[in-house]
């Protein structure tokens, strides 16, 4: 929330790019003008800067900050010249309103906002009674300003405001803001002198500048401090109070999306051209869905933010209260329309006048993921389109011959890169001898018996009704089914079972649900027809043991192979090492004369006490494709849990370009399962949840007892293997107590 004075001084910027102009960055999820990086503080005090601070000190004393406190609060300050160009900087790219709203009023922000409405229902009801502002509007401001407290600005506030107070335009204004900030720190409202925010001083969960903080902020949680940084209650209460002071009237709408009659004069539009609502109704304006608006004498204005061919809005005095928070039309419309979505509205009816609409954050992240895949150094796929992403888009637009090459993150460039980066086909067909091999689902061949002969700790037996190689070492026990070469069990010495195996399995050759199925040479159907089995060719075939040995420390090493299939030029070998940890390696060799593209996965079913209570570390910030959302791209927020508010109670996520080191933390069993992967660029996390499990005969009520965390190369992360080349996918499973 920034005052009109600051907005006025940046009016030229706002006219071209309708962003909240007291931000060093745009609101969360919106592209911001390129800015220079924040430099390290200068080692020596600049004499002119020191003289400026000395001149400010008497004014600080007059406001109750004595000389010692002033010195303490300013002694470490050094000017940051990179903030000065932002006073007058013209943005590199204009932002049409459809781009602006696409980034701020998207499905993710709506879902997160509705979760916040539920989580803070009691607080928001109290604030509505106290200030008269409805919960959806307060939460919409919070969502647009900082993505519900996630993105609050990264520039040191004292440094930015001190620099602007001593150089450039509007020094007097920024001296007042610096003094307000120092007074908040001196009084104890704010405790951290290293507080960060926007380049122009806006900070906290709802982005107040210091003078407005001092004037408007309230203690919403009753702890005696006004902390809009660390206290959500304080931030939301202060926002409600600001809107009340700006003229918000309880029980009134901000306005409506409307439909204009044929021949309507667009010159009547404009926020300052107010007429009684009844006058607009008399001119034939109705709601966008065609319903009639009840006439009244309340002054209202017509907005046509994209001209007569785009959406139209009638706005009331409550819209003006939102507009006062930050004087930009697109900003106010973002708050208003997000609030409507939080109340359950499906969104705008009219389309924006463009054939290249803007992208919501999920699609921005997808675009960035595609740019990363093409080798552009843009950081992470976070959905925030900055200068590095724009430069990469320009390069791709030029390569593709798209005009204009303006760096805009629109649907056109996304679709063009999608077409190039569609998952490459792994077009395997059913081998002619596949059915014959399936006829002997649990073999005990002479070669297997000969190989295991006289290897201490290795025997042939059964595990939960399945023929299996049984391994006993000083460090752990394990069981491996010869059907599918599937790990069934791994139990560290003195510990509990690591793998989950369904107690409701169907008879062989139905695939075994549980353990670690080997999915190869494809994981998902990428060019295969329905005649081939799901998740590969080898998980329902007889494997044989080809080598076995016991190492000096007792670790057991097993080599296994599936049958050689006709017409398949890829050959597979697997090695298992059972010791203090379990190490599994899949070796793939191309014996043909042409490159082959394939995918693969080690589909681990980890045994847990309660899937809803575990978390997986190591995925935060990674982009994933969500099968439950049509393979749309999203970014993981924090550790994975099955209760993620974006898709609660189920999970089917494929993390591409993943890091290869993950930790499944299970408080119920008091342990941490660490999965370390080499040669695999994908991580897959799956649990069907209660509803889907009810329709799965081999899962049913047991869905809570496992979480699948899989080492893979899957989806876009295909492996292309040259003739004669080999590839290894390696996973190591280790268990430690919490």
Which one from 396, 583, 600, 710 is the annotated catalytic residue? Answer: 710
Pairing verdict, β 661-666 and 671-678: antiparallel
Residue 618 · residue 662 · CB < 8 Å? yes
Q: Is 710 a catalytic residue?
A: yes
Q: Which residues contact 648 (CB under 8 A, 6 or more apart)?
A: 642
User: Which of 681, 679, 667 lies closest to 714, judged by CA?
Assistant: 681
Quote the CA–CA distance of 35 and 52 in Å, as a whole number. Answer: 25
Pairing verdict, β 286-287 and 556-561: unpaired
Quote the CA–CA distance of 60 and 186 in Å, as a whole number. Answer: 11
Strand partners, 197: 155
Q: What does the block give as tokens for 164?
A: 């602007």
* Cβ atoms within 10 Å of 728's Cβ, excluding its own: 13
Strands (E), 418-475: 458-463, 466-472
Which one from 120, 186, 603, 727 is the annotated catalytic residue? Answer: 603
User: Which of 12, 5, 38 lies closest to 24, judged by CA?
Assistant: 38
| Residue tagged 């017409």 (tokens) | 567
| Residue tagged 């080997």 (tokens) | 518
Running DSSP on this structure, what letter comes out for residue 563? P
Alpha-carbon torsion angle 611, 617, 621, 627, nearest 10: -30
Q: DSSP secondary structure string, 213-234?
A: HHHH---SSSSSS--TTT-HHH
- Quick one: how far is CA 406 from the chain centroid? 26
Which helix (H) or strand (E) segment holds residue 148: the answer is none
Q: What does the block give as tokens for 414?
A: 């996304």
User: Quick check: helix, strand or coil at residue 510?
Assistant: coil
Q: Is 420 a catalytic residue?
A: no
Question: Where on the phi/psi map is residue 557: left (φ > 0), alpha (ψ -120 to 50), or beta?
Answer: beta
User: Which of 398, 155, 27, 87 lies closest to 390, judged by CA?
Assistant: 398
User: Quick check: helix, strand or coil at residue 661?
Assistant: strand
Q: How far is CA 633 from CA 35, 269, 310, 382, 397, in A?
A: 27, 39, 28, 11, 21
**CA angle at 63 for the pair 58 and 69, rounded to the nearest 5°:** 70
| Residue tagged 């009684």 (tokens) | 276
Q: What does the block give as tokens for 524?
A: 């998902």
Peptide bond into 26 cis (omega under 30): no
Q: Where in the sequence numbering do the catalytic residues fall? A: 603, 710
């Amino acid at each position: 929330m920034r005052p009109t004075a600051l907005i006025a001084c940046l009016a030229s910027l706002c006219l071209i790019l309708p962003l909240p102009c007291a931000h060093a960055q745009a609101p969360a999820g919106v592209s911001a003008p390129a800015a220079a990086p924040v430099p390290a503080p200068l080692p020596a005090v600049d004499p002119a800067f020191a003289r400026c601070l000395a001149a400010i000190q008497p004014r600080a004393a007059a406001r109750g900050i004595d000389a010692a406190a002033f010195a303490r609060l300013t002694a470490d300050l050094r000017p940051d010249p990179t903030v000065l160009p932002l006073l007058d900087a013209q943005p590199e790219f204009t932002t049409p309103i459809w781009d602006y709203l696409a980034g701020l009023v998207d499905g993710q922000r709506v879902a997160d906002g509705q979760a916040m409405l539920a989580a803070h229902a009691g607080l928001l009801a109290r604030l509505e009674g106290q200030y008269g502002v409805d919960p959806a509007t307060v939460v919409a401001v919070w969502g647009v300003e900082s993505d519900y407290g996630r993105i609050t600005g990264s520039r040191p506030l004292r440094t930015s405001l001190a620099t602007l107070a001593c150089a450039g335009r509007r020094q007097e204004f920024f001296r007042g803001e610096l003094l307000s900030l120092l007074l908040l720190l001196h009084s104890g409202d704010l405790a951290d002198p290293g507080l960060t925010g926007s380049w122009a001083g806006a900070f906290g969960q709802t982005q107040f500048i210091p003078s407005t903080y001092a004037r408007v902020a309230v203690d919403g949680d009753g702890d005696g401090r006004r902390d809009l940084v660390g206290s959500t209650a304080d931030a939301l209460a202060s926002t409600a109070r600001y809107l009340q002071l700006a003229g918000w009237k309880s029980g009134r709408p901000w306005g409506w999306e409307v439909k204009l009659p044929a021949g309507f004069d667009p010159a009547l539009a404009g926020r300052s051209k107010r007429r009684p609502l009844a006058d607009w109704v008399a001119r034939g304006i109705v709601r966008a869905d065609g319903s009639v608006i009840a006439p009244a004498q309340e002054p209202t204005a017509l907005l046509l933010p994209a001209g007569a061919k785009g959406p139209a809005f009638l706005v009331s005095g409550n819209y003006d209260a939102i507009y006062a928070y930050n004087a930009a039309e697109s900003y106010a419309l973002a708050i208003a329309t997000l609030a409507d979505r939080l109340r359950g509205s499906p969104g705008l009816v009219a389309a924006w006048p463009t054939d290249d609409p803007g992208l919501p954050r999920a699609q921005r992240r997808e675009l960035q993921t595609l740019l990363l895949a093409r080798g552009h150094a843009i950081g992470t796929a976070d959905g925030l389109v900055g200068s590095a992403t724009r430069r990469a888009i320009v390069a791709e637009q030029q390569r593709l011959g798209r005009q204009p090459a303006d760096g805009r993150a629109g649907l056109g460039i996304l679709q063009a890169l999608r077409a190039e980066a569609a998952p490459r086909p792994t077009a395997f067909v059913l081998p002619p001898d596949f059915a014959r091999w399936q006829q002997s689902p649990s073999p005990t061949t002479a070669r297997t018996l000969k190989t295991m002969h006289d290897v201490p700790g290795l025997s042939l037996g059964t595990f939960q009704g399945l023929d299996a190689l049984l391994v006993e070492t000083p460090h752990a026990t394990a069981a491996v089914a010869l059907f599918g070469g599937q790990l069934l069990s791994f139990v560290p010495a003195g510990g509990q079972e690591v793998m989950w195996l369904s107690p409701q399995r169907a008879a062989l050759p139905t695939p075994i649900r549980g353990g670690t199925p080997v999915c190869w040479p494809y994981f998902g159907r990428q060019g295969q027809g329905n005649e081939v089995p799901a998740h590969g060719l080898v998980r329902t075939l007889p494997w044989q043991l080809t080598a076995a040995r016991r190492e000096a420390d007792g670790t057991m090493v097993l080599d296994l192979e599936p049958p050689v299939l006709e017409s398949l030029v890829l050959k597979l070998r697997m090695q298992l090492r059972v010791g203090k940890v379990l190490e599994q390696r899949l070796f793939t060799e191309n014996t043909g004369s042409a490159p082959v593209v394939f995918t693969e996965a080690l589909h681990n079913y980890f045994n847990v006490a309660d899937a809803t209570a575990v978390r997986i570390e190591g995925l935060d910030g990674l982009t994933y494709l969500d099968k439950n959302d049509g393979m749309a791209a999203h970014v993981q927020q924090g550790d994975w849990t099955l209760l993620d508010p974006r898709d609660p109670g189920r999970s089917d996520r494929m993390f591409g370009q993943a890091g290869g080191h993950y930790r499944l933390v299970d408080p119920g069993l008091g342990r941490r399962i660490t999965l370390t992967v080499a040669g695999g660029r994908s991580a897959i996390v799956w649990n069907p949840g209660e509803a889907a499990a009810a329709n799965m005969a081999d899962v049913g009520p047991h869905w809570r007892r496992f979480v699948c965390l899989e080492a893979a190369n899957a989806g876009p992360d295909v492996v292309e293997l040259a003739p004669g080349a080999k590839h290894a996918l390696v996973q190591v499973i280790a268990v430690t107590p919490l």
